[in-house]
């Protein structure tokens, strides 16, 4: 009974944009197992997610993480371990999951396209570190983003910052790709954006199937990018 209750609650949080049924696409949570599923563009969050301050969140996470360590039998009085709960809490909120908080969204200034440059601009090999939302272990990858100006241009470092902001969330690669694309479309006021991500998932390489050689590629080609010519032009630029 307890198990069933947890299952339903878990599903609700995970699928808040989709169904309240107890199955996803006809599969139960257990059947989905290690397979990564993608439920929507928005990161699934509760409406009250930011009613608690970052400081309180860190204090609560430290208590809970300490409990996890305790349950595993670790000696929290050991000099090496006693600071870990606080370190993890601070790292979660201030660093690796800081992209959950809209206050940390990069402020982006646009400039007039004075150079009249009207071809694609590609920013490639943006290294990012994210975390898989199903296992909370790292996703390490490179993002390549491109756009064609609709009259405004963006500072190059901002493209990097947008990638980092969305990477610093519990993620699935498909959503990360689409969130970056969606943000670029909004900021640059154009459909003509492309995002390609090539990433390694530690939940695939360091555990589970333990495949150390595979990587996962996802892509978004919007507007003018969605033609065989533009896709092949972009892919040419991305060749090492
Ligand atoms: Zn995973």
CATH number of the domain where residue 157 is located: 3.30.1130.10
Same domain, yes or no: 120 and 87: no
Rounded to a whole number of angstroms, the CA Rg of the chain reads 20
- Which structural domain, as residue segments, surrounds residue 14? 1-33
Domain match, 95 and 128 both: no
Question: Between these two residues, 32 and 224, which has the higher pLDDT value?
Answer: 224
- Does residue 207 lie in a domain region? yes
Residue (of 140, 186, 147) closest to 167 by Cα position? 140
Cα distance from N-terminal residue to C-terminal residue, the chain: 55
Residues annotated as catalytic are 132-135, 173, 201, 203
State how far the Cα of 154 lies from the Cα of 146, in Å rounded to an integer. 11
Residue 89 shares a structural domain with residue 177: no
Claim to verify: residue 170 and residue 202 sit in the same structural domain: yes
Reference 177, options 210, 143, 200, 148; nearest CA is 143
**Sole residue written with tokens 């989709």:** 18
What's the pLDDT at 31? 66
With 80 as the cut, is the pLDDT of residue 11 above it?
A: no
| Residue 101 predicted with pLDDT over 80 | yes
Count of Cβ atoms closer than 10 Å to residue 122 Cβ:
18
Ligand 1 centroid – CA 140 distance (Å): 12
**Pair of tokens at residue 31:** 């059947």
Q: What is the pLDDT of residue 26?
A: 63
CA of 229 to the centre of ligand 1 (A): 34
Considering the domain architecture, whether residues 114 and 211 belong to the same structural domain is answered as: yes
The CA 133 to ligand 1 mean position distance, Å, reads 6
pLDDT at res. 198: 98
Task: Report how far Cα 221 is from the mean position of its chain's Cα atoms.
Answer: 18
**Do 40 and 175 meet the contact criterion of CB atoms below 8 Å apart?**
yes
Residues whose CB is under 5 A from ligand 1 (ion)? 132, 134-135, 203
Q: pLDDT exceeding 90 applies to what percent of the chain?
A: 79
Distance CA 145, CA 161 (A): 12
Residue 40's pLDDT is 82
Q: How far is the CA of 9 from the centre of ligand 1 (A)?
A: 20
Asked if residue 16 is part of any domain, the answer here is yes
Distance 117 CA to ligand 1 centre (A): 41
Mean per-residue pLDDT over the chain, rounded = 88
| 86/134 same-domain check | no
Given a cut of 50, whether residue 190 has pLDDT beyond it is yes
Residue 83 has pLDDT above 70, yes or no: yes
CATH number, domain containing residue 72 = 1.10.286.10
Domain membership flag for residue 45: no
Whole-number Å distance, alpha carbon 67 to ligand 1 midpoint, is 23
CA–CA separation, 209 and 214 (whole Å): 11
Question: pLDDT band for position 32 (50/70/90)?
Answer: low
Determine the average pLDDT of the residues in 109-113: 90
What is the number of structural domains in the chain? 3
Other CB atoms within 10 A of residue 171 CB: 23
Give the least confident one: 54-58, 166-170, 174-178, 204-208.
204-208
Residue 133 lies in a domain: yes
Quote the ligand 1 centre to 6 CA distance (angstroms): 20
Asked, for residue 78, whether it belongs to a domain, the answer is yes
10 sits in which H/E element: helix 2-14
Residue 94 and residue 14 share a domain: no
- Residue at 218 is within a domain: yes
pLDDT at residue number 21 = 41
Q: Would 225 be classed as within a structural domain?
A: yes
| Within-domain flag for 117 | yes
Q: Let me know whether 145 and 206 are in one domain.
A: yes
The contacts of residue 89 (CB under 8 Å, 6+ apart) are 57, 58, 59, 60, 61, 62, 65
122 with 152, same domain? yes
Q: Is residue 19 scored above 90 in pLDDT?
A: no
Instruction: List, for residues 38-56, the tens digit of each pLDDT value.
Output: 678 999 999 999 999 999 9
171 and 88 part of one domain: no
- The pLDDT confidence band at residue 137, using thresholds 50, 70 and 90, is very high
Do 204 and 137 lie in a common domain? yes
- On whether both 162 and 76 belong to a single domain, the answer is no
3-state DSSP call for residue 181? Answer: helix
Residue 23: what pLDDT? 55
Three-class secondary structure of residue 48 per DSSP: coil
């Amino acid at each position: 009974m307890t198990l069933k209750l947890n299952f339903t609650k878990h599903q609700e949080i995970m699928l808040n944009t989709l169904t309240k049924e107890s199955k996803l696409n006809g599969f139960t949570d257990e059947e989905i197992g290690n397979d990564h599923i993608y439920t929507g563009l928005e990161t699934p969050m509760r409406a009250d997610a930011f009613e608690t301050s970052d400081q309180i969140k860190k204090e609560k996470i430290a208590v809970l993480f300490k409990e996890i360590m305790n349950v595993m039998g670790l000696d929290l009085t050991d000099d090496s371990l006693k600071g870990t709960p606080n370190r993890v809490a601070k790292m979660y909120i201030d660093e690796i999951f800081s992209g959950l908080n809209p206050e940390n969204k990069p402020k982006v200034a646009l400039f007039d396209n004075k150079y009249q440059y009207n071809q694609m601009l590609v920013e490639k090999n943006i290294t990012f570190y994210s975390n898989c939302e199903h296992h909370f272990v790292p996703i390490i990858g490179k993002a390549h983003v491109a756009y064609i100006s609709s009259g405004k241009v963006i500072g190059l470092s901002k493209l990097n910052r947008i990638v980092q902001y969305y990477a610093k969330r519990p993620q699935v690669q498909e959503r990360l790709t689409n969130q970056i694309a969606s943000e670029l479309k909004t900021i640059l006021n154009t459909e003509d954006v492309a995002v390609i991500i090539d990433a390694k998932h530690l939940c695939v390489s360091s555990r589970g199937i333990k495949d150390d050689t595979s990587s996962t590629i996802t892509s978004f080609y919007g507007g003018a990018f969605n033609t065989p010519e533009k896709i092949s032009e972009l892919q040419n630029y991305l060749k090492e």
